[in-house]
């Protein structure tokens, strides 16, 4: 089953459990509030709804095509709306917003990711906090400035890209497109954070093996956040 189909199935289950799509309505505010705990402005991965007007099996709008960011949905954890990333199949891409992601990780802000797979006709998951992977796993970084970001807590983690122990990569990937006004293709290179899932140690996962999909997470211990020096509830209402 394709990656997009898996992620849409997960989003349906999340909505039915009281969660929301990250890129529309209150989901945007919850995502921004979560990231601003580390003074980071990191928007949802897909901002808006599908341009073709397609809807899911419950009649809710499908999300827009995936952008360069990380979060796809928000789920409630002890009164706090927590953004999560949905990863169907073996998708390694975490985000092109690699510096923002590193800042969140080094600040200890969880970046929960639900890896998705269908087993026996049912959706299954393995949950993992990518922040821990960034902080603890050996990383290959292509730029010295980014090495300082990703090695902020453990510089020994930054290794050459060919090191067989590397789990996390901040690598340059090509984007090729044909400009509408020019008769030739344009190639641009961008940096993105990737995780080699096959090399991630089992003890970094919340689920040691694949389990039936259940859009829940452990308690965050956060019932209110601090945004720009002001206390804000999980619903985005300022308290002072």
pLDDT digits (tens, 9 = 90+) for 156-197: 667 766 777 777 777 655 444 444 444 444 445 556 778 888
Region class of 194: left (phi > 0), else alpha (psi between -120 and 50), else beta: beta
Note the pLDDT of residue 236.
Answer: 42
Output DSSP code: residue 218. -
Is residue 10 included in any domain, yes or no? Answer: yes
Does residue 11 lie in a domain region? yes
- Exposure pattern of 110-146 as b/e (b: 16+ CB <10 Å)? bbbbbbbbbeeeebbbbbbbbbbbbbbbbbbbeeeeb
pLDDT attached to residue 109? 87
Determine the structural domain holding residue 123 and report its residue range: 3-134+200-233
Average pLDDT over residues 61-70: 64
* Separation CA 181–CA 18 (nearest Å): 45
Q: Where residue 112 falls among pLDDT bands split at 50, 70, 90?
A: very high
The structural domain count of the chain equals 1
Residue 126 is assigned to a structural domain of this protein? yes
Query: What is the rounded distance in angstroms from the CA atom of residue 147 to the CA atom of residue 152?
Result: 8
Distance separating alpha carbons of residues 36 and 222, to the nearest angstrom: 14
Share of the chain above pLDDT 90, in %: 19
Q: Residue 28: inside a domain, yes or no?
A: yes
Query: How far, in Å, CA of 224 to CA of 60, rounded?
Result: 28
Look up the pTM and report it: 0.78
pLDDT of residue 82: 92
Residue 178 lies in a domain: no
Largest CA distance in the chain: 56
Residue 169 maps to a domain: no
User: Tokens 């639900």 correspond to what residue?
Assistant: 114
What pairs with residue 76 in β-bridges?
81
Instruction: Please determine, for residue 28, whether its predicted confidence score (pLDDT) is greater than 70.
Output: yes
| Mean predicted confidence (pLDDT) in 95-107 | 82
Contact in structure between 23 and 15 (CB atoms under 8 Å): no
Per-residue model confidence (pLDDT) at position 142 = 61
Q: Is residue 191 part of a domain?
A: no
Name residue, tokens 């039915």.
Answer: 16
Q: What's the confidence (pLDDT) of residue 90? A: 79
Does 228 have pLDDT greater than 60?
A: no
Residue 87 or residue 90, greater confidence: 87
Inside any domain, residue 208: yes
């Amino acid at each position: 089953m394709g990656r997009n189909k898996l992620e849409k199935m997960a989003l349906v289950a999340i909505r039915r459990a009281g969660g929301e799509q990250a890129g529309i309505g209150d989901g945007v505010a919850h995502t921004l509030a979560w990231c601003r705990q580390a003074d980071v402005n990191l928007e949802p991965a897909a901002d808006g709804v599908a341009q073709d007007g397609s809807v899911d099996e419950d009649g809710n709008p499908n999300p827009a095509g995936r952008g360069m960011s990380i979060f796809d949905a928000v789920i409630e954890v002890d009164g706090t709306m927590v953004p999560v990333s949905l990863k169907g199949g073996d998708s390694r891409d975490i985000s092109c917003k690699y510096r923002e992601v590193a800042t969140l990780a080094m600040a200890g802000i969880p970046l929960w990711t639900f890896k998705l797979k269908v087993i026996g006709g049912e959706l299954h998951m393995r949950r993992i906090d990518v922040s821990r992977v960034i902080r603890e796993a050996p990383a290959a970084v292509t730029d010295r400035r980014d090495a300082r970001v990703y090695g902020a807590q453990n510089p020994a983690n930054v290794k050459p890209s060919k090191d067989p122990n590397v789990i996390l990569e901040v690598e340059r990937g090509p984007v090729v497109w044909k400009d509408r006004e020019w008769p030739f293709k344009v190639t641009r290179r961008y940096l993105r954070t990737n995780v080699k899932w096959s090399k991630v140690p089992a003890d970094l996962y919340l689920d040691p093996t694949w389990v039936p999909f259940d859009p829940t997470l452990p308690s965050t211990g956060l019932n209110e956040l601090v945004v720009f020096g002001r206390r804000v509830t999980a619903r985005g209402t300022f308290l002072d």
